[in-house]
Structure 1
Amino acid sequence: MSSQPPATAPEKDEEPDYRFTLANERTFLAWMRTALATLAAGLVFDQLSDYFGGSKLIEGLSVLMMCMTVSMSFLGYKHWSRVQKAMRRSAPLPRSPMLLPLTSMLIAAAISCILYVVLK
């Protein structure tokens, strides 16, 4: 019998310094707080839509904000998980996939607000 290790041995997980784990968790919680605020903004825009006679622009803005909430929640958890795994394996930390899409959605929301104020 041969006692050779398998060709692809699983990478060993080690417990990272607790300070890094807590910092990663705080970052995740910051994304969740931002997602919650974005959800609240989406609900406010929905209520404003009724106040301003059912404006489709405001309704679209409300939906955009709620889509941002879903994106931030999902991608925030995914990023937290990837960073935690990288820290346990002493691997390079992954870049966040959230920054460009969420920045783009926020810019679109801001432009929609500007258009609504200018064109009302």
Structure 2
Amino acid sequence: MSDNDATPQRSEAEGPGLRNTLANERTLLAWFRTALALLAASFAVVKLTDITPHALRLALGSYLVALAIGVITAGYIQWRIRQVRIRGSGRADRNLGALSLTVALFLLAGFVVAVIVVAP
């Protein structure tokens, strides 16, 4: 048995590009978890606390929603920049999963805003 037979052959898909891509996706998910926590906190501040006056709760809840939207945006932009660098080309691949999740989080943020503003 030669040295080449003892080491498993790796395809290009299993090399550093795949590891970097998966690490990049885990980082994106961490950004999104942070945004979800901020959205949950904004809802809790406005609807589940007894902080008075009501305007203070709305201001704090609005700040948390705005922060969550910023985190969603920053996470997606960072993910896209790293994807371009990993691929080594001038443009990133069309990963609809990351874009779909980003849009879903924006919609969730809009829903939280609607619940905070409309519901008494």
Q: TM-score when scaled to structure 1? A: 0.56
SS at 1:17's partner residue?
helix
Runs of 4+ in 1 over 6 A off after TM superposition: none
Does the aligned pair in 1 maintain the 2:17–2:87 contact within 8 Å?
no
Does the aligned pair in 2 maintain the 1:48–1:58 contact within 8 Å?
no
Aligned residue number for residue 58 of structure 1 = 57
Does the aligned pair in 2 maintain the 1:42–1:62 contact within 8 Å?
yes
Question: Given the alignment of the two structures, is residue 45 of structure 1 paired with residue 45 of structure 2, yes or no?
Answer: yes
Q: Distance in 1 between matches of 2:81 and 2:43?
A: 31
Q: Distance in 2 between matches of 1:52 and 1:69?
A: 21
Aligned residue number for residue 18 of structure 2 = 18
Q: Distance in 1 between matches of 2:34 and 2:43?
A: 14
Q: Shift in Å at residue 69 of structure 1? A: 1.1
Q: Distance in 1 between matches of 2:33 and 2:58?
A: 23
Q: Distance in 1 between matches of 2:48 and 2:55?
A: 11
Identity percentage of aligned residues: 38
Q: Shift in Å at residue 58 of structure 1? A: 2.1
Letter aligned with residue 36 of structure 1: L
Q: Distance in 2 between matches of 1:52 and 1:81?
A: 40
Q: Shift in Å at residue 86 of structure 1? A: 1.2
Deviations 1:70-104 (A, max 9, x none): 1111111111001110121189xxxxxxxxxxxxx
Aligned residue number for residue 67 of structure 1 = 66
Deviations 1:9-58 (A, max 9, x none): xxxxxx76200100000000000001000000000111146x34443222
Alignment of 1:1-120 (within 5 A): 17-48=17-48, 51-89=50-88
Q: Distance in 2 between matches of 1:66 and 1:36?
A: 10
CA-based RMSD? 2.2
SS at 2:40's partner residue?
helix
